[in-house]
Structure 1
Amino acid sequence: MSPFSTITRKPNRYSVVCEAAPKKKADSAAKRDRQAKKRQIYNKAKKFQVKTRMKKDIWKADFYVS
């Protein structure tokens, strides 16, 4: 017999405490979702504006340098 066969493991005796978090109101969550979508569309548009402006400025700089 191997020496490891005599070792027995003790069962884990940890207690698990689960506290229920208060549920968020459905309407406020829906409002937050709507606002997030609006901000996402707005931010995406601004991002494209900045990219377009950068491309135009780089093109102008290259035009004047050449």
Structure 2
Amino acid sequence: MTRLELIIGPAGEIRGETRGFAGRSCLEASRDLLQTLGQTTSDRLTAEFYVIAQADVVAQRCEFR
């Protein structure tokens, strides 16, 4: 199961986290939300980002043919 979490701090700062995504799909899923919220002050990629999703493998195979 995939999900986007927003954590709003006491000073109004917003932290977003993605869960259950593999590879770059987390960036695609959160793109519109990030644009709506405004400027990003920092990014931290988790181990899930470096997992190769099945769709990424298919795309890589297509590039090399």
Could you say which TM-score interval applies, normalised by the shorter chain?
Answer: under 0.3
**Larger helix proportion of the pair:** 1
In terms of Rg, which structure is larger? 1
**Larger strand proportion of the pair:** 2
